């Protein structure tokens, strides 16, 4: 639009002064609000687009959305409307130019990060309001009269046929050089897409050029999707993590909010002060970088040192140079110096300059040594000690030199990282040396104190783990020894059981019989199959003997064998069957005898008294339990929780035969024994044992009250 056309536009309430910007969708004019008498930026949509009502509606709707974003870092909108064929919006006038102009002039690292931080703060406000810019670029970052950056064109979609933005479904939205990979694919872009664009802008502020460029927008978009994250020149390596995080291809790997970006910038500038040095300034030209070339530039740590060393050496050379100037009269100057006293002053100055040059030379050499130490992994305590000594010498020579302070801080950072690695590798002795050196060099740093605490805790945890491992190994060894010992004992008992069977010692004598040895095996290994088979075999032997005795009508002997079998294994059901068969056989014989006796006549003699039938199996069980109770009492197994104790066996007898006198007598004996033991313990001062025994005796009287009635 020409100047004549701009002056022909009439918007009620505004006086258009001049055109200040033009884009694919609208033209921006500097105008004066007549009533308020203030300058505004008046944005008027292109008349060519006004014919399409879709653009007019979007222009007005999105302008109203941006009007809700009242923030000092976002260009404000005062008014929006239409007049005739013109759709317009009145915005805050920001006279300080845009970021593109500042990039061309050159920005320091510090200024670049400062601008990025302020833009991120404004962007975070918009994101939290639910809005995404979608078209961040240097042209949309303006500066007010105080140099503060402000976002503009927030959320305003460009025309679909414009080179800077397309709004058809499934197509890209944004400026190709600054769009995110998801924008290039035509996918939905959220607030993390804006953060990617900020990464591109940061790269451009530092280097003076965009990371991806090509002849057409499509090729640029492909580079955003396929090419790796760009690498900054070495002098900006401390900013590279920001670029990596901002320009990650996957949105999930970027900062998840602009607030996170602000915090990262604060950490970066807090840990590494960013200075306005000329050696980190860029010209802004898109084809070159206004700094010393990488190959020719000395290491960034030593730039100042080299400069001042050369400067001092030049000063030292000035007198010689002046001596050879035409027309110079050295003797006259010498006479004047001596007369005026300047000779001594000059000598002192030259001496001081020489000393300073020597100091700087030594400092530079020490800094180079320390820089090498920072790059090397720590393998010995001597290595740490040498680095510490070098650092101390630098402290003496540095005179608060900024580069030296930065280098010392980086040394401590290196030590902390190495301490972390050594702790993870359980190299605590070397880690001790590293942490102690860090404490010597930077006792005020909280990270050093935290690492010292971590080292102590890690050592304690490792020592505890070692002790636990030692104990576990001992327990495992002992268990294996016990297992081997148990296996040997089982083998020996089984062998003795077989020998006892061959010798006919099935259940007697008590401690030399096959039954005894099988019981010993089952105590060591309750489920031992060989012992269980052996016991079943012993029962079979006694059942066979009982059967033979019954056939010979030796019923008492047969019952004795059955009692032995029941003692060996009361759960064997064959015993009950044999007992029943024996009882039937005896009954048959008794019946036959009775039938042969003559019946009594009138003599009045009473018939023969028939004995009451007694359950032979029950009597057999009682006999076995009585013998077991007697053995338990002899062994001192009186009451629970001792296994196979006498009280349990006697109680079982009373359930079978409540009037059994031997069982009653045995329970009373246990009660009296407990009382006697309690009294003895009480006399010996064993009060706790006495209490337990008294309680056990009292429990018996409560379980069997009839046995203790007077």
3-state secondary structure of 643: coil
Q: What is the pLDDT of residue 675?
A: 94
pLDDT of residue 345: 72
Would you state the structure tokens that stand for residue 156, as one six-digit string?
A: 């305003």
pLDDT of res. 612: 38
Task: Give the per-residue pLDDT at 591.
Answer: 85
The answer for residues whose C-beta is within 8 angstroms of residue 542's C-beta and 6 or more apart is 506, 507, 561, 562, 564, 565, 568
Q: In what order do the strands lie in the sheet with 38-45?
A: 14-22, 26-33, 38-45, 86-92, 77-83
Q: Give yes or no for a contact between 282 and 207, defined as CB atoms under 8 angstroms apart.
A: yes
pLDDT of residue 52: 75
Residue-wise burial string across 389-425, b where 16 or more C-beta atoms lie within 10 A, e elsewhere? ebbebbeebbeebebbebbbbbbbbbbbebbbebbee
Task: State the pLDDT at residue 122.
Answer: 95
- Model confidence over 126-167: pLDDT tens digits? 999 988 998 899 999 999 999 999 998 865 433 333 333 333
CA distance 540 to 572: 10
**Planar angle of CA 344, 313, 274, nearest 5 degrees:** 120
Q: What is the DSSP letter of 164?
A: S
CATH architecture of the domain with residue range 99-280? Orthogonal Bundle (1.10)
In CATH terms, the fold of domain 3-92 is Phosphorylase Kinase; domain 1 (3.30.200)
Please state whether the predicted TM-score (pTM) of the whole model is above 0.85: no
**Would you state the pLDDT for residue 291?**
32
Q: What is the pLDDT of residues 610-629, one digit of tens each?
A: 333 446 667 778 888 998 99
CA atoms of 497 and 75, how far apart (whole Å): 103
Minimal CA–CA distance to 118: which of 155, 71, 63? 71
Going from N- to C-terminal start, the domains of the chain cover 3-92, 99-280, 300-324+344-444, 615-710
User: How far is it, in rounded angstroms, from Cα 271 to Cα 261?
Assistant: 15
Structure tokens belonging to residue 192:
């993390």
Task: Identify the pLDDT of residue 68.
Answer: 84
The DSSP 8-state label assigned to residue 169 in this structure reads T
Q: How far apart are CA 51 and CA 46, in angstroms?
A: 10
pLDDT tens-digit map of 292-327: 233 333 344 444 444 444 334 433 443 433 333 333
Phi, psi (degrees; rounded to nearest 5) at 511: -100, 10
What sign has the CA pseudo-torsion 438, 442, 444, 447? negative
Query: How far apart are alpha carbons 549 and 585 in whole angstroms?
Result: 12
Q: Which residue has the higher pLDDT, 698 or 282?
A: 698
The dihedral region occupied by 262, where left means phi > 0, alpha psi between -120 and 50, and beta the remainder, is alpha
pLDDT in the model for residue 179: 92
């Amino acid at each position: 639009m020409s100047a004549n056309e701009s002056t022909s536009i009439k918007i009620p309430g505004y006086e258009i002064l001049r055109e200040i910007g033009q884009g694919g969708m609208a033209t921006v004019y500097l105008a004066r609000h007549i009533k308020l008498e203030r300058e505004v930026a008046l944005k008027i949509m292109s008349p060519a687009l006004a014919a399409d009502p879709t653009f007019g509606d979007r222009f007005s709707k999105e302008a109203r959305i941006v009007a809700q974003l009242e923030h000092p870092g976002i260009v404000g909108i005062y008014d929006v409307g239409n007049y005739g064929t013109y759709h317009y919006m009145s915005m805050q006038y920001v006279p300080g130019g845009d970021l593109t102009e500042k990039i061309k002039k050159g920005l320091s690292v510090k200024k670049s990060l400062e601008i990025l931080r302020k833009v991120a703060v404004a962007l975070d406000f918009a994101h939290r309001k639910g809005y995404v810019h979608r078209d961040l670029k240097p042209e949309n970052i303006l500066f007010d009269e105080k140099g503060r950056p402000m976002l503009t064109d927030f959320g305003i979609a460009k025309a679909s046929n414009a080179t800077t933005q397309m709004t058809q479904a499934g197509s890209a939205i944004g400026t190709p050089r600054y769009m995110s990979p998801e924008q290039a694919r035509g996918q939905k872009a959220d607030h993390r897409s804006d953060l990617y664009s900020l990464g591109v802008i940061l790269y451009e502020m530092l280097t003076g050029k965009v990371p991806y460029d090509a002849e057409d927008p499509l090729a640029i978009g492909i580079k955003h999707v396929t090419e790796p994250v760009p690498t900054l020149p070495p002098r900006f390596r401390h900013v590279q993590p920001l670029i990596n995080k901002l320009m990650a291809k996957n949105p999930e790997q970027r900062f998840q909010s602009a607030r996170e970006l602000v915090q990262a910038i604060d950490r970066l500038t807090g840990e590494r002060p960013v200075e306005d040095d000329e050696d980190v300034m860029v010209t802004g030209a898109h084809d070159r970088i206004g700094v010393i070339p990488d190959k020719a530039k000395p290491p960034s740590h030593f730039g100042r040192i080299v400069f001042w060393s050369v400067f001092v050496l030049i000063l030292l050379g000035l007198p010689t140079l002046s001596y050879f100037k035409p027309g110079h009269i050295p003797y006259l100057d010498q006479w004047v110096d001596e007369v005026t006293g300047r000779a001594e002053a000059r000598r002192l100055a030259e001496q001081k300059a020489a000393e300073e040059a020597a100091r700087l030379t030594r400092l530079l050499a020490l800094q180079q040594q320390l820089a090498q130490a920072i790059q090397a992994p720590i393998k010995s305590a001597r290595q740490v000690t040498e680095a510490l000594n070098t650092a101390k010498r630098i402290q003496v020579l540095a005179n608060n030199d900024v580069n030296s302070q930065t280098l010392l801080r980086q040394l401590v950072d290196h030590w902390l990282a190495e301490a972390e690695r050594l702790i993870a590798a359980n190299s605590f002795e070397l880690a001790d040396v590293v942490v102690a050196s860090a404490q010597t060099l930077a006792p005020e740093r909280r990270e050093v104190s935290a690492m010292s605490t971590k080292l102590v805790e890690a050592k304690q945890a490792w020592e505890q783990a070692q002790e636990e491992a030692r104990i576990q190994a001992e327990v495992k060894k002992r268990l294996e020894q016990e297992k081997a010992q148990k296996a040997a004992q089982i083998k020996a008992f089984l062998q003795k059981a077989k020998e006892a069977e061959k010798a006919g010692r099935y259940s007697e004598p008590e401690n030399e019989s096959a039954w005894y040895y099988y019981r010993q095996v089952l105590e060591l290994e309750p489920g031992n199959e060989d012992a269980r088979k052996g016991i079943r075999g012993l029962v079979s032997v006694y059942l066979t003997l009982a059967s033979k005795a019954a056939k010979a009508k030796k019923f008492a002997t047969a019952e004795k064998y059955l009692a032995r079998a029941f003692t060996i294994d009361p759960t064997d059901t064959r015993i009950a069957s044999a007992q029943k068969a024996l009882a039937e056989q005896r009954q048959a014989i008794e019946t036959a005898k009775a039938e042969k006796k003559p019946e009594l006549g009138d003599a009045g003699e009473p018939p023969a008294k028939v004995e009451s039938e007694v359950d032979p199996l029950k009597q057999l069980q009682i006999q076995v339990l009585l013998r077991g109770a007697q053995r338990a009492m002899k062994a001192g197994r009186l009451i629970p929780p001792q296994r196979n104790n006498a009280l349990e066996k006697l109680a079982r007898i009373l359930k079978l035969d409540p009037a059994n006198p031997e069982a009653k007598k045995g329970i009373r004996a246990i009660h009296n024994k407990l009382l006697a033991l309690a009294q003895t313990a009480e006399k010996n001062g064993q009060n706790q044992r006495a209490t337990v025994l008294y309680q056990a005796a009292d429990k018996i009287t409560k379980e069997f009250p009839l046995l203790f009635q007077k």
